[in-house]
Amino acid sequence: MSDDFDVIVIGAGHAGCEAAWAAARLGSRVALCSLSRDTVAHMPCNPAVGGTAKGHLVREIDALGGLMGEAIDATGIQFKLLNRSRGPAVWSPRAQADKREYGRWVRARLETEPNITWICGKAGRIVIESDRIRGIELEEGGGFIPGRALVITTGTFLNGLIHIGPETQPAGRAGEPPSRDLAESLKSFGFRWGRLKTGTPPRLLRESIDFDGGVSRGTFVEERGDAEPVPFSFLTDAIAREPTSCYLLYTNEAVRDLVRAHVGESPLFNGQIKGIGPRYCPSLEDKIVRFPDRERHQVYLEPEGVESREIYVNGCSMSLPRAVQESIIRALPGLADAVVLRPGYAVEYDFIQPTELRRSLETKRIAGLFLAGQINGTSGYEEAAGQGLMAGINAARLVRGEPALGLGRDQAYLGILIDELITKGCLEPYRMFTSRAEHRLLLRIDNADLRLTPIGRSIGLVDDTRWSRFEARQARFARNREALQSTALRTPCGNRASALEWLRRPEVKLADLYRDGQIALEVQAGQEGLDLASLETTIKYEGYLRRQVATVERLRREEGRRIPEAFAFATVPGLSREVIQRLSEVRPDTLGQALRIPGVTPAAVAVIGAYLGRPMRPAAS
């Protein structure tokens, strides 16, 4: 191919789609390389978006101008806001997706972007000159694609190997070949790499399950989702689609006995699988072996779409032989007649240790080479999409000669995600949790736009439509706060107090004051929940927020002490060999990042801080 591209994106999963979209919207000529357009934004595992902390990531992706929030709002079939009984810092939206419609929506949006050129082919050898990206060669004589930056988002395809009992098949996911040449090309550059494992459950024929009978007999519990769905995107006013039901059931003694009887045939336990699996999303056989005293485990039957015939059996991921899987499914309450369309499987794949990356997600060894998604050791569509967005932004900014965009831990869950990957690396598939955020009251779903949309606008990713909507919301927020300050209410004791002061009481709810007509507020049609939540949380938690902001400012001053890229850690007296090794591997940008590296003590960081700015002696040879 003769065309020179600014940015080449390998893979059109959730990371690749966000990377291509961001780079193209920032003016880069993008080549999006995928095996097929039919699997764009494919959901090979659970057809769902969001969940605890993951919903925060989607809100942040949307606030910056990414795709995922709008995509799930347009194609979701059941929405829930999780953790309603707890504080606003951990409220998290989740939605079941219509799997095929989701992929079609994302593909259609990408096809409207003139800066994206689609290339169907299999990426092979990475071509570099003087340790800089020059382009990529396609396998099987597909030609050479020249480019100035390369974003690799290959998911589970690097030397992917599927396991179903004793059966193995080279594949990135069912029916799709692995990436071998690309994997070996990456390894030839000396990157530290490892091998991980993930899995998926069987799919059942919808018509073979008696859902109504299961509910009437008490075998299934029907779950319909929220009556008033909370959207993911700040551009969505309301979700109009009728919700689709999911069904909860539990494993029983028969299932437990079957798994125990056949655990020796599980690739996970007989040594066939070498990769490390996810701790927080274990397979059925893993759960039963690890928790022998647990009498039952939750299983959800989730439709893969409104018209889809496939039911996803959430909670039953496994890699046992096909016949054993069928026996287990039919032993579940209410599923005696269920038809298994496809067995579950485990997939092993190579990944690059993310300590090889800069905060921009560019590799330290090869200029212009960016990695995003499961290739960095993460799990989940949301973690992948967030990395893809940031990699796409920074690839485009690199090509334009602009500094990389980095988000701090106090600014976004996206900042926490990337900081932990590049600082700590991965020993197992990484998953985001709200507990990872030390300032999570500042990083709520209701204020993601207030935190990040100005940043998206400043780099050119937020368009005029989103920006005008944001400015209107920001102005409403300020006017509503003033209205609360200036409106006097009579308390039950007969005293008068400003609505703002009265709202600080735990038992007082802003929604009640507004709906009862006690306070006049400006609320955008369809945005009542968002407008009221942001306002109420800011006022009720004002003291806590002020203290967190003060803490952040203090930590930012300490964090801001930069460590030169060529700093010779080995010449600093008093550092142990282990500390020198870890610091030399990660090459932290700041003292704050150095402190978060496993094995690096506060005392060691204090010593390094004392030596910053001094002339460094050459390291001993």
> Residues 236, 339: one domain?
yes
> Residues 599, 529: one domain?
no
**243 part of a folded domain:** yes
> Do 11 and 382 contact (CB within 8 A), yes or no?
no
Spatial distance between the Cα atoms of 207 and 232, rounded to a whole number of angstroms: 31
Residue ending a domain, among 293, 325, 348, is 348
> Residues 213, 258: one domain?
yes
Q: What is the torsional sign of CA 426, 429, 435, 436?
A: positive
Specify whether the backbone of 37 is left (phi greater than 0), alpha (psi in -120 to 50) or beta.
alpha
Predicted pLDDT of residue 240: 86
Spatial distance between the Cα atoms of 520 and 513, rounded to a whole number of angstroms: 9
User: Taking Cα atoms as reference points, which of 195, 157, 196 lies closest to residue 175?
Assistant: 157
**326 part of a folded domain:** yes
Predicted pLDDT of residue 613: 65
- State the amino acid at position 579 in one-letter form: V
> Do 391 and 361 contact (CB within 8 A), yes or no?
yes
Q: Are strands 193-200 and 76-82 parallel, antiparallel or unpaired?
A: unpaired
The torsion angles phi and psi of 365, rounded to 5 degrees, stand at: -85, -35
Q: What is the DSSP string of 283-321?
A: -HHHHHHH-TT----EEEEEESSSS--EEEEET----S-
**Who's near 615: CB < 8 A, 6+ residues apart?**
none
**24 part of a folded domain:** no
User: Taking Cα atoms as reference points, which of 169, 155, 100, 162 lies closest to residue 123?
Assistant: 155
**211 part of a folded domain:** yes
Q: What is the torsional sign of CA 129, 131, 134, 138?
A: positive
Strand ranges in 471-548 using DSSP code E only, listed in sequence order: 488-490, 496-498
Predicted pLDDT of residue 616: 47
> Residues 538, 588: one domain?
no
User: Taking Cα atoms as reference points, which of 151, 62, 153, 55 lies closest to residue 373?
Assistant: 153
Predicted pLDDT of residue 99: 95
Q: 568-605 burial, b if ≥16 CB within 10 A, otherwise e?
A: ebbebeebeeebbebbeebbbbebbbbbbbeebeeebb
**2 part of a folded domain:** no
User: Taking Cα atoms as reference points, which of 289, 267, 317, 257 lies closest to residue 164?
Assistant: 267
Predicted pLDDT of residue 251: 97
Question: Which helix (H) or strand (E) segment is 351 a member of?
Answer: strand 345-352
C-alpha distances in Å from residue 513, one per residue of 86, 489, 517, 532: 21, 10, 6, 11
* Torsion angle of the four alpha carbons 64, 69, 74, 76, in this order, in degrees rounded to the nearest 10: 180
**593 part of a folded domain:** yes
User: Taking Cα atoms as reference points, which of 251, 250, 253, 282 lies closest to residue 269?
Assistant: 282
Spatial distance between the Cα atoms of 316 and 57, rounded to a whole number of angstroms: 26
267: domain CATH number? 2.40.30.260
Q: How many CB atoms lie within 10 A of CB 235?
A: 15
> Residues 594, 502: one domain?
no
> Residues 341, 211: one domain?
yes
**523 part of a folded domain:** yes
Burial class (CB in 10 A: 0-12, 13-18, 19+), 401: exposed
DSSP state of 620: P
497: domain CATH number? 1.10.10.1800
Predicted pLDDT of residue 516: 85
> Residues 539, 502: one domain?
yes
Residue with the two structure tokens 């390369």: 150
Question: Which helix (H) or strand (E) segment is 198 a member of?
Answer: strand 193-200
> Do 174 and 283 contact (CB within 8 A), yes or no?
no
Residues in the chain, total: 621
Spatial distance between the Cα atoms of 83 and 48, rounded to a whole number of angstroms: 17
User: Taking Cα atoms as reference points, which of 120, 101, 102, 6 lies closest to residue 50?
Assistant: 102
Split the chain (621 residues) into runs of 10 and give each run's mean pLDDT: 84 98 98 95 94 97 98 97 91 96 98 97 96 95 95 96 96 93 96 95 97 96 93 93 94 96 94 88 91 93 95 96 97 97 96 97 97 96 98 98 95 96 93 90 95 98 97 93 89 82 88 87 82 90 88 74 88 87 88 86 82 58 39
Which 3-state string (H, E, C) describes 372-426? CCHHHCECCHHHHHHHHHHHHHHHHHHHCCCCCCCCCCCCCHHHHHHHHHHHHCC
Which residues is 449 bridged to in the sheet? none
- Tell me the angle at which helices 14-25 and 381-399 cross, rounded to the nearest 10 degrees: 30
572: domain CATH number? 1.10.150.570
**190 part of a folded domain:** no
Domain that holds residue 490: 463-549
- The distance of Cα 554 from the centroid of its chain, to the nearest Å, equals 29
Residue ending a domain, among 348, 380, 412, is 348
DSSP state of 126: E
Spatial distance between the Cα atoms of 81 and 377, rounded to a whole number of angstroms: 28
Spatial distance between the Cα atoms of 396 and 401, rounded to a whole number of angstroms: 9
> Residues 213, 333: one domain?
yes
Q: How many CB atoms lie within 10 A of CB 618?
A: 8
> Do 140 and 327 contact (CB within 8 A), yes or no?
no
Residue ending a domain, among 496, 529, 549, is 549
Written as six digits, the tokens of 104 are 């079609």
- What is the count of structural domains for the chain? 3
> Residues 567, 540: one domain?
no
> Residues 282, 214: one domain?
yes
> Do 448 and 534 contact (CB within 8 A), yes or no?
no
Predicted pLDDT of residue 566: 85
> Residues 239, 307: one domain?
yes
Spatial distance between the Cα atoms of 426 and 430, rounded to a whole number of angstroms: 7
> Residues 495, 565: one domain?
no
